[in-house]
Amino acid sequence: MIEAELKVRVHDPEGVMRQLERRAPGRAEVYQDTYFDTPDGALRGEGRELRVRTVRGADGTRAVLTYKGTPVDESSGSKPEHETRVDDPDAVHAMLRDLGYVPSIAFEKHCRNHEFESHGRRMLATLVRVPEVDGTFLEVEALVEEEELSAALEDVRAVLDDLGFVERDLTTELYTDAVTAVRRLPATERGRRA
């Protein structure tokens, strides 16, 4: 499956949340993400991702292992995605390390997820705050077969249009890159950003 996703910077988080709540009730969740790579950074260099995510919310805690391949659409950054639930994330961390992968970055995301039907597709809209990064983001995605990617991206864009977003709001910046950039700042500069 391909994750047909577009991400935008949000200038009015409360207003966007109200619009999303009209589509579907949201669920607040905190993601603890750990990305793994080869010691030489080969996965990142090829645009691939290997992640263990622990999700905590009102319904309890769950964990997933995700692999994302290289982007198949450069303008959106959409990638093939393979994901499975895991019962013991610590065991998966140990397995990946034993296979030669190393944790490359770990960080927390505060999310509000809204699942709804739009344009004949199952959509997920997620409002995201990464405590270390300035701003709020909205990701809208649909999981589709590769041959549907172009049409699905049009449908995702239509949802963003309905929510009042314009072309200049789009971003393909990765959270991993944004967190890495913040962590490279001197401690005094990081303190001012928080």
Digit-by-digit pLDDT tens for the chain (194 residues) are: 999 999 999 999 999 999 999 999 999 999 999 999 999 999 999 999 999 999 999 999 999 999 999 999 989 999 999 999 999 999 999 999 999 999 999 999 999 999 999 999 999 999 999 999 999 999 999 999 999 999 999 999 999 999 999 999 999 999 999 999 999 988 777 666 55
How would you classify residue 50: left for phi > 0, otherwise alpha for psi between -120 and 50, otherwise beta?
beta
| Beta carbons of 78 and 2 less than 8 angstroms apart | yes
- What is the pLDDT at residue 187? 78
The span from the CA of 43 to the CA of 24, in Å, is: 36
Range of the domain at 86: 2-193
* Number of domains comprising the chain: 1
CATH number at residue 159: 2.40.320.10
- What is the pLDDT at residue 14? 97
Name 85's Cβ contacts closer than 8 Å, sequence gap at least 6: 62, 63, 64
